[in-house]
């Protein structure tokens, strides 16, 4: 199962894709969609939407996750973040991806084992967990952390229900393989 994680932002929207096989997680791709500095919000939104649509078309993830933002401290920052988040979720849901939401605490706990981990700790732990040696930007690391969190929660839920991971998706993919 391929999982897409997103760390939205109006200047840069991080994305990270991991593959989950059993309880094994591996790195597939990560990066950031950077918007033109000084451009209007409609132009930035178009860039985020188009960039993410391209990533999804290329990598074909089975499911997606994004950080749930409960409260922002600054109304102006909240408005900008909200618009980037709206554009990113629009791109994912327009391509029929189911989008799960996790709190910052859940994501940090999953990726770094510590709900108040710093950006640097997250960057370090995400690379270690995925055995990835190349440098990762904060945006990409946060997006990968979100995907890792989704993999863990999905796994726990499936263990709880006594089923294999994401039954519907697996069935579809297996069917695809049989056809090959």
**Minimum CB distance to a second copy, residue 80 (Å):** 7
* 113-172 residues near a second copy, rule: CB under 8 A: none
**Minimum CB distance to a second copy, residue 10 (Å):** 9
SS (H, E, C) the chain: CEEEEEECCCCEEEEEEEEEECCEEEEEEEEEEECCCCCCHHHHHHHHHHHHHHHHHHHCCCEEEEECCCCCCCHHHHHHHHHHHHHHHHHHHHCCCCEEEECHHHHHHHHHCCCCCCHHHHHHHHHHHCCCCCCCCHHHHHHHHHHHHHHHHHHHHHHHHCCCCCHHHHHHHHHHHHHC
133 annotated active-site:
no
Catalytic: which of 19, 24, 62, 67? 67
Does residue 30 belong to the site contacting a second copy (CB under 8 A)? Answer: no
* 75-114 residues near a second copy, rule: CB under 8 A: 75-76, 78-94, 99, 101
**Minimum CB distance to a second copy, residue 175 (Å):** 25
142 annotated active-site:
no
Q: Which distant-in-sequence residues (6+ apart) come within 8 Å of 133 by Cβ?
A: 127
139 annotated active-site:
yes
Residue 58 or 159 with smaller CB distance to a second copy: 58
**Minimum CB distance to a second copy, residue 64 (Å):** 9
* 41-80 residues near a second copy, rule: CB under 8 A: 41-43, 45-46, 48-50, 53, 66, 69, 71-76, 78-80
The Cα 73–Cα 92 span in angstroms is: 27
Q: Which residues are identified as catalytic?
A: 7, 67, 139
User: Which residues contribute to the site for a second copy (CB under 8 A)?
Assistant: 40-43, 45-46, 48-50, 53, 66, 69, 71-76, 78-94, 99, 101
């Amino acid at each position: 199962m391929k999982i897409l994680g997103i760390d939205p932002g109006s200047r840069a929207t991080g994305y990270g894709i991991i593959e989950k096989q059993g309880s094994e997680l591996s790195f597939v791709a990560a990066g950031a969609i950077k918007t033109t500095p000084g451009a209007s919000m409609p132009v930035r939104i178009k860039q985020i939407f188009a960039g993410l649509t391209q990533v999804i078309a290329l990598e074909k993830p089975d499911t997606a996750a994004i950080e749930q933002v409960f409260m922002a401290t600054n109304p102006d920052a909240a408005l900008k973040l909200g618009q980037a988040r709206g554009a990113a979720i629009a791109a994912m849901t327009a391509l029929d991806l189911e989008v799960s939401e996790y709190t910052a605490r859940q994501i940090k706990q999953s990726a770094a084992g510590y709900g108040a981990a710093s950006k640097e700790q997250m960057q370090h732990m995400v690379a270690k967990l995925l055995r990835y040696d190349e440098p990762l930007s904060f945006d990409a690391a946060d997006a990968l952390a979100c995907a890792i969190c989704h993999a863990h929660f999905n796994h726990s839920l499936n263990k709880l229900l006594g089923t294999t991971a994401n039954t519907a998706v697996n069935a579809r993919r297996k069917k695809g393989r049989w056809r090959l």
